[in-house]
Amino acid sequence: MTGKTDFITMQVIRYAMEQIADEMGHTLVRTARSTVIKEIMDISCAVFDHKGRTIAQAHHAPMLLTGLEITMSRLLQEYPPGMLQDGDIIISNDPYMGGQHIMDVQLFAPVFFEGELVGYVGSLAHMVDMGGASPGGVAGGVNEIYLEGLRLPMVKLYKGYKEDKEIFGILQNNIRVPHVTLGDIRAMASCNYVGVRRLQDVFTKYGVETVQDATAMLMDYSERRMREGLQAIPDGTYTGVDYIDDDGLSDDPIKIQINIIKKGDGIKVNFDGTSKQVKGNINCPIATTYAGVYYTIICVVDPSVAANSGCYRPVKLDVEEGLIVNPRMPGAVASRTNTSQKIVEAMLKAFSTAIPDRVVAGSHGQISTCAFSSYDKKGRRFVYTEIQGGGAGARPTKDAREGQDSHLARFMNTPVEAAEMEFPVRVECYEFIPDTGGAGKFRGALSMRKDIRFLCDNVSFARYGDRQKFGPFGLFGGSEGAMGRFILNPGKPGEKRMRSKGLDTLQYDDVISLQLPGGGGYGNPLERDPELVKQDVLDGKISLATAKDTYGVILNPADLAVQQQATEQQRQEMGKIALK
């Protein structure tokens, strides 16, 4: 134990810091304007020390949280101490300055105490619009960053608590819905100022030395927990591979390869074997790549650790420039989530051989993000955004929780009634699709399907999705989950499968069926408890035929009773065939 503090003070200050991050998050959610922030909660807030290291995070999207640290380090280069004053706020959304994608705007504020720069607070939120080629910024198949929206380098949006008129003016002129986006940005600023004040309170209460000792100790503590967790994982080199369908422009699959070198209490990760960057906007900026890697390692090593900068210390990343996971300018990046999700998937596959009881099978592995835009009856432009994942992968001890989202992001769906009241649409179905969860001793989650009918003309349909050519992987004998599909006018003349990424126009009465990927299974389906198979058939989650052909369970068609002997026989025979 060094310095002025002790373990108990460390914990007390940790709670105070978490409280600041939470209060920032609540302030942002309550004051923002857009549904993306308020209902979907695509945001993050964090508190940093004077060196830009994360002390505490609010409980939002891990993808954004773990990436903030990378942005912070860039900010310290751009604005070394001395260039910032009390009340300043820096804005940026530049994927090439440590940002995520253009739609994710980040605001950082320095915190001064008795004239000294003692820390920073930061917030990040997904904007409804930032200009660019398509409303909502989510069209797939875009080929350079310039088309994706207004790209702000790190600039001072507020100077000494005052708005910078010029920058607000530039924003105002370049955004389709300035009243919403500027409202959201102002909400972020007030959330940052709440953070500044609260952090100053903590310094007043405990003094600079105690707080800095406690936060340093807190990071050491998290580092120690991570290192102990890593120590328990067998040494070795583990490789995992997954594929992205395509970049929305060509049809070529894109390879994500992760090589994990685990030695002692440290871990090295490189991407040797991964595809080069691509033309389509699926490139993954470096902050997002780090986020995917950090997220997965925390999940499998110590999910209850205090998530701060110390967690990242045992992890060394080596990411060559020019790969899809570290693109060069002017690579387009809007739909990077499809890539970051695959980073997680490939890492889980790699870890599965070392720590089979800590990983999950493949999940939806993408985020189907769709923006529908046209004019409503009153002649007003609307942008209707649907952000959906899909099924999660099965786990070593239990089935996936049907309907529940999986990695990195943490969003909510848009209620059917909310959509219909606000936009000229009718949702015709929002249900599971039977027989789409990967079979296994534990079953992957079913696919979901949402069918939307449009009641207006000339609707632009911008979207990016994935896992429509490569399904979510199963583990240890579990089978793949179903792939996703976007179908235009299902079951009707003119039925057509649409590309996973692109921009099209829909007309009055067109129905678009968004069918999401399911989750992969875990373990041999022949080892699944026949009673669980029976329940799945009863629930209509799998068919009677699947029970027999995939799980080897024979049920009496009348009352679905498990026929023990027939089942044993069926499973034995299937086992023999599998051996051959």
Partner 1 sequence: MRIGIDVGGTFTDIVAIDDVTGQFHYAKTLTTYPNLWEGVLEGIARILDKTGWTMDQVNYIVHGTTIGTNALIEKKGAKTGLITTEGFMDVLEIGRVQRPNEALYDFFIDNPLPLVPRYLRKGVPERVNAEGEVLLPLDEEKVREVLQYFKEQNVESVAVCLLFAFQNPAHERRIAEICAEVFPEAYISLSSEIAPEFREFERSSTTVINAYLQPVMKRYISQLTKELEKKYGKIDLRIMQASGGTITAEAAEKFAINTVNSGPAGGVLAGSFIGNITERKKLISVDMGGTSFDIGLIDGGIPKITSEAKFDGYPIKIPVIDIDAIGAGGGSIAWIDKGGALNVGPQSAGAAPGPSCYGKGGRLPAVTDANLVLGRLNEEYFLGGEMSLRKDLAYQAIKEHVADPLGMSVEEAAAGIIRIINAKMSKGISVNSVEKGSDVREFTLVAFGGAGPLHAVELAVELEMQAVVVPPICGGFSAVGLLVSDVRYDFVQTMIRSSDDIDLGQLNEIYKELEQKGIAQLTAERFNLQDMELVWSVDLRYEGQSYELNVPVDRGENLGKKDVEKIIERFHALHEKLYAYSSQEEEVQFVNLRVTAIGKTPPVEFKTESLTGKNGAEGLKGSRPVYFEGHGFIDTPIYERDRLLSGSRFTGPAVVEETISSTLVTPGASCYVDEFGNLILTWGEV
User: Could you tell me the smallest distance in angstroms from the CB atom of residue 428 to partner 1?
Assistant: 6
Among 5, 42, 62, 149, binds partner 1 (CB under 8 A): 62
Q: Give least dist CB 62 to partner 1, A.
A: 6
Taking CA 123 as the corner, what is the angle to CA 119 and CA 127, rounded to the nearest 5 degrees? 160
CB-based contact 121:192 (threshold 8 Å): yes
The CA angle 286-287-288, to the nearest 5 degrees, is 90
Among 281, 368, 388, 567, indicate the residue that binds partner 1 (CB under 8 A): 388
Q: How many residues at the interface with partner 1, by CB under 8 A? A: 80
* Per-residue binder mask for partner 1 (CB under 8 A), 271-300, x = binder: ------------------------x--xx-
Do the Cβ atoms of 361 and 393 come closer than 8 Å?
Answer: yes
Residues 345, 172: Cα–Cα separation, whole Å: 39
> What's the distance, Cα to Cα, between the start and end of the chain in Å?
61
Binding residues for partner 1 restricted to 517-556, rule: CB under 8 A? 535, 538-541
Which stretch of DSSP H or E encloses residue 254? strand 254-263
Interface stretch with partner 1, choices 12-20, 112-120, 234-242, 543-551 (CB under 8 A): 12-20
> 366 with 390: CB under 8 angstroms?
yes
With beta carbons less than 8 A apart as the criterion, state whether 41 and 411 touch.
yes
Closest distance of CB 517 from partner 1, Å: 14
190 is an interface residue for partner 1 by CB under 8 A: yes
Compute CA distances 9 → 51, 211, 306, 451, whole Å: 21, 9, 15, 54
Q: Which of 116, 264, 318, 412 binds partner 1 (CB under 8 A)?
A: 412
12 contacts partner 1 (rule: CB under 8 A): yes
Place of tokens 């022949």: 526
Token duo for residue 294: 């950090």
Q: Quick one: which of 47, 145, 152, 180 contacts partner 1 (CB under 8 A)?
A: 180
Q: Does 305 bind partner 1 (CB under 8 A)?
A: yes
Shortest distance in whole angstroms from residue 524 CB to partner 1: 20
Stretch that binds partner 1, among 30-38, 97-105, 246-254, 279-287 (CB under 8 A): 30-38
Query: What string marks each residue from 127 to 166 as x (binds partner 1 by CB under 8 A) or -?
Result: ----------------------------------------
Residues in 201-240 that interact with partner 1 by CB under 8 A: 221-222, 224-225, 228
Count the Cβ atoms, other than its own, within 10 Å of residue 484.
Answer: 30
Q: Which is nearer to partner 1, 142 or 360 (CB)?
A: 360
d(CA 305, CA 303): 6
Half-sphere exposure of 435 (CA within 13 A, CB side): 9
Near partner 1 by CB under 8 A: residue from 69, 148, 405, 466: 405
Q: Which residues contact 9 (CB under 8 A, 6 or more apart)?
A: 206, 210, 214
- Applying CB under 8 A, does 11 fall inside the site for partner 1? yes
Smaller CB distance to partner 1: residue 277 or 406?
Answer: 406
User: For residues 414-433, which are near partner 1 according to CB under 8 A?
Assistant: 415-418, 420-422, 426, 428-432
| Residue 34 binding partner 1, by CB under 8 A | yes
For the chain, give the longest Cα–Cα distance: 80
Q: Which of 86, 146, 170, 183 binds partner 1 (CB under 8 A)?
A: 183
Q: Which is nearer to partner 1, 395 or 548 (CB)?
A: 395
Is 381 a residue that touches partner 1 (CB under 8 A)?
Answer: no
Long-range contacts of 550-558 (CB under 8 A, 24+ apart): 550/439, 550/479, 550/525, 551/439, 551/525, 551/526, 552/525, 552/526, 553/528
Question: Nearest 5°: CA angle at 42, between 39 and 44?
Answer: 125
Min dist. Cβ of residue 41 to partner 1 (A): 8
Q: Minimum distance between the CB of residue 353 and partner 1, rounded to whole angstroms?
A: 17
Q: Which of 69, 242, 246, 451 binds partner 1 (CB under 8 A)?
A: 451
